[in-house]
Amino acid sequence: MRKSKAIIVLLFMQISCNTTTQKSDADNTIKEVESLAQKNFDWLLGKWEQTDEDPGKETFEEWSKPNDSEYRGFGYTLQKGDTIWQEEMLLIPSAENWFLKIKSPDDPEAVTFTLKEYSPYTFSFENAEVSFPNLITYRKQGEILQAAVSGGDTEIRFAFRPVKE
């Protein structure tokens, strides 16, 4: 009889521990998803003009937020009123992380970068499988939006100012 009680108590303790572990794992997953959702890229929103573009060219990025969890960007360069370069950007969360997808008209599919670093006014995305760029960084300092693309020993920096319309 004592053995039966001891076995029942041990089984109850094991079930209780397993339930606590499962609840803890679920709580951690919820916290990770909430942490992803709390990342805010709203400071990208609006139209930005590159301040350090070559003479005769104008380069812009326009960012919008079509819903609570997605940001869309469109980058383009004009020369004498004609579009000579463009790319579409999509900044989206998944269950594990945020992704930046970039597609140019000549690309068969978007290139996907994974969020590497984040702070309220800085982020970087990385894709080690492409040679250039494999790191994309954005930073807002005051009214200036700074961007950089890099890979290997090469880094190209850009500065943008907001366009008042």
CA distance 89 to 107: 13
What are 90's two structure tokens?
């999509």
CA distance 69 to 37: 7
Mean pLDDT (whole number) for 8-30? 44
pLDDT at residue 37 in the model: 55
For 114-145, the pLDDT digits (tens) are 999 999 999 999 999 998 999 999 999 999 99
Residue 133: asked if its preceding bond is cis (omega within 30°), the reply is: yes
For 32-78, the pLDDT digits (tens) are 444 555 799 999 999 999 999 999 999 999 999 999 999 999 999 99
Total H helices, total E strands in the chain = 1, 10
CA distance 40 to 33: 14
What are 92's two structure tokens?
């989206």
